[in-house]
Amino acid sequence: ILTHSGYQVPFAERIERAVPGLFVVAVGIIVAGQQVEEILDQETADLVAAGRGFLRHPNFALNAARELK
């Protein structure tokens, strides 16, 4: 599997469309607040797990909030 930013998001979207009512979490090198916002705005997934973003930057949520302000 070739990895890139958001590489597993399409899988989350397929599950989201195939199984209505199931809460789906998007994962896969999600490292920017804008990326999280796009996933949620497009209803690609219900939740986003940004583990790598938090590992790199403990203030990931604060940085994302500032970025999206």
Task: Report the pLDDT value the prediction gives residue 1, as an integer from 0 to 100.
Answer: 81
pLDDT in tens, 2-46: 899 999 999 999 999 999 999 999 999 999 999 999 999 999 999
Q: Taking phi first (over 0 means left), then psi (-120 to 50 degrees means alpha), and beta for anything else, what does residue 59 get?
A: alpha
Nearest to 41 by CA among 62, 69, 11, 13: 13
Task: Report the pLDDT value the prediction gives residue 9, as an integer from 0 to 100.
Answer: 97
Give the model's confidence band at 52: pLDDT under 50 very low, under 70 low, under 90 confident, else very high.
Answer: confident
Give the model's confidence band at 69: pLDDT under 50 very low, under 70 low, under 90 confident, else very high.
Answer: confident
Question: Is the pLDDT assigned to residue 53 strictly greater than 90?
Answer: no
**What does pTM read for this prediction?**
0.86
Which of helix, strand or coil describes residue 31? Answer: coil
What's the rounded Cα separation, in Å, for the pair 66 and 60? 10
